[in-house]
Amino acid sequence: MAINLSNLRFSYPEHPHLPVLNIPFWSLSAGEHTLIYGSSGSGKSTLLNILNGLLTVNSGHVKVLGQHLNKMTCRQRDSFRANNIGYIFQQFNLIPYLNALDNIQLASYFSKSKSKSSLNPEIKALLNSLNIPEKDWKKPVRALSIGQQQRIAIARALINKPTLLIADEPTSSLDQENRDSFMALLMSIVKKNRITLLFVSHDMSLSHYFTRVESLNDMNQIAYEHAN
């Protein structure tokens, strides 16, 4: 199992009486490519931040890649995230004033598993495989197109060889053409490296890329509680 959630309850400390998530049970097996869809404000990003260990739950169990996240210290979660989870946002995946190489190096800096000597050729191979022309490697990433930035974001998310890749609406800021090539690229890399993919979007038209499609509203009992 890549992810195992049971009796998960979460509310932000600022609003303790306004629960955001209540998931009795949910799991994701290794190698699955799952799309979770939901409208904005449904708690998608909150769920993802619980899975990557930035947020801790009020009660229940969160097991990611066999590790109990709520039994780890803050520091352990930070290095667990750096070593095991790749993460792609909708926007701002890269430090805008650093170039592509530096951004990817920065990501590998926080993961202690890498030997630094093999790092540079690895980054270059990764950028090449993602069709980033070499002349753009040393430009500050803010000078590049959104499509290129999102592809560098894939490289950044993959540099530490994660077993779980979480993508939070990575295609929302792309146009149709860029979106299709991004998805094709992402899926081929994920398949090649046998990475478990958890993809969150409000865009149902992407569902044909995935082996499993879920609605967050079905998972999250809060929606029913509100309805009742």
Partner 1 sequence: MNMLIKLALKSLHDRKGSVILSIIAMTVSIFVLLGVEHIRYQTKESFANTVSGTDLIVGARTGSLNLLLYSVFKIGSPTNNISWRSYEKIARNPKVKWAVPLSLGDSHKGFSVLGTNGKYFEHFSYGNQHKLLLEKGSVFDNVYDVVLGYQVADKLNYQLGDKVVLAHGIAKTSFSLHTDKPFTIVGILAPTGTPVDQTLHVSLQGIEAIHSNGENINVSQTKRLSNDYHQHKQPELAQLQPQSITALLLGLKSKMSTFKIQREINNDTQEPLLAILPGVALSELWQMMRILENTLFLVSVLVFISASLGVSAMLLSSIKQRAKEILLLRVIGAPPLFLFFLIELEVLFITAISCILVVSLLFAQSYLASYFGLQISVNIFSINTLKLIVAILSVSLIAATMPSLIGYVQSKKHTIVD
What is the closest distance, in whole angstroms, from the C-beta atom of residue 203 to partner 1 in the complex?
16
Return the residues of window 15-74 that contact partner 1 according to CB under 8 A: 40-41, 43-46, 49, 52, 54-55, 74
116 part of the interface to partner 1, by CB under 8 A: no
What is the closest distance, in whole angstroms, from the C-beta atom of residue 41 to partner 1 in the complex?
5
Which residue number, 91 or 215, has a Cβ lying nearer to partner 1? 91
**Of residues 109, 89, 102, 100, the one with CA closest to residue 174:** 89
62 by Cβ neighbours in 10 Å (0-12 / 13-18 / 19+) ranks as buried
Which residue number, 78 or 214, has a Cβ lying nearer to partner 1? 78
User: What is the spatial distance between Cα 189 and Cα 194, in angstroms, rounded to a whole number?
Assistant: 8
Interface size with partner 1, residues (CB under 8 A)? 38
Return the residues of window 160-219 that contact partner 1 according to CB under 8 A: none
Distance (Å) of CA 43 to CA 69, 169, 184:
19, 13, 27
**Packing angle, helices 119-129 and 146-158, rounded to 10:** 140
- Binding residues for partner 1, rule: CB under 8 A, are 12-14, 40-41, 43-46, 49, 52, 54-55, 74-75, 78-79, 81-83, 87, 89, 91-98, 102, 105-107, 109-111, 156
